[in-house]
Structure 1
Amino acid sequence: MAEKAAKKIDVSNKKASFEFFFLERYTAGMVLTGTEIKSIRLSKFNMTDAYCFFINGELYVKNLNISKYEQGTHYNHEPLRDRKLLLQRKELKKLANKLTDKGLTVIPTRLFINDKGLAKLDIALAKGKKLYDKRDSIKERDVARERMRES
């Protein structure tokens, strides 16, 4: 039996790690339509400006741009629609309570397809960095790079 070689999709949001400190991380499922998952499997998505928010106790992701599927017909999806995230109720309540703190937000950090073929989104409870924190991050990265060159 010939197995189909599936392309691994595992994309992280590099801008998020530069802009935010991650306090807690969660893995959430997403409610997607058929053409959306096909576009994700073709790596036709952009998550740099995406963020999460609550509506009626449910978590949604906004500005996750999944491009239209090229072979899609009139059933094609809207690229920037809000997509519902699937977490356990206990985790949703915990996130909702922590979002009342000033300066905290929930952002997507990674989009991947698991072994079962389901699209998952890693999200993080994050606090924004100040300008001097960003400079410190750049300095630490440069020092680590210099150490690796010397070794």
Structure 2
Amino acid sequence: MNSKKKMAKINRFEKKINIKNKKASFEFEFVDTYVAGLVLRGTEIKSIREGKVSLTEAFCFFKSEELFIRQMHIAPYSMAASFNHEAVRERKLLLSRKELDKLESKFAEKGLSIIPIRIFINDQGLAKMEIALARGKKTHDKRQDIKEKDAKRELGKLAY
């Protein structure tokens, strides 16, 4: 009977959360990175702790001097009944005024975007997002990255 109680007490939120946008480093060249807080509603933090987040199509934009993220998908929490959250909505990002002003001035330059790189839970249990001021890569830059990865892989094989 004790083993059943121990099994029931295992926390499904125990693992470290580090959800990455894998396409971002392939599609963009990072100029500068920032860590921002997220304004979440209701059951969104529980879904993030379960790892049910998609950043692949997400992007950041300014609306009345505040930074928001759009197209970030947080799956509805499975244990919630009627008080569940919307999966895709605009969410506010929390940065200091100094960082926001710096980002907004650089964002006005042609060819720069603000994209999410990863979501993680910090030591205090708060959801944080790492964002990057980025410039889109050209096709030849992407080919060069693929060549470099292949060369590293071949060197790794020869080392063993």
Structure 1 distance, partners of 2:100, 2:36, is 10
Structure 2 residue 138 is the aligned partner of structure 1 residue 136: no
Q: C-alpha displacement at 1:74, in angstroms?
A: 2.3
SS of the counterpart of 2:87?
A: coil
Q: C-alpha displacement at 1:13, in angstroms?
A: 0.8
What pairs with 1:102-121 in structure 2 (closer than 5 Å)? 102-121=110-129
The residue type paired with residue 15 of structure 1 is K
Alignment-derived partner of residue 95 in structure 2: 87
Q: TM-score, normalised by structure 2?
A: 0.90
Structure 1: tracts of 5 or more residues without a match:
none
Q: C-alpha displacement at 1:144, in angstroms?
A: 1.0
Structure 2: tracts of 5 or more residues without a match:
1-8
Alignment-derived partner of residue 130 in structure 2: 122
Q: TM-score, normalised by structure 1?
A: 0.95
Structure 1 distance, partners of 2:105, 2:59, is 17
Q: C-alpha displacement at 1:7, in angstroms?
A: 1.1
Alignment-derived partner of residue 30 in structure 2: 22
Structure 2 distance, partners of 1:142, 1:136, is 10
Are the equivalent residues in 1 in contact too, given 2:42–2:83 (CA < 8 A)? no
Structure 2 distance, partners of 1:88, 1:52, is 16
Aligned-residue RMSD, C-alpha: 1.5
SS of the counterpart of 2:43?
A: helix
Moved over 3 A (4+): 2-5
Alignment-derived partner of residue 6 in structure 2: none
Number of aligned positions between the proteins: 150
Paired-residue identity, %: 54
Larger Rg: 2
The residue type paired with residue 135 of structure 1 is R
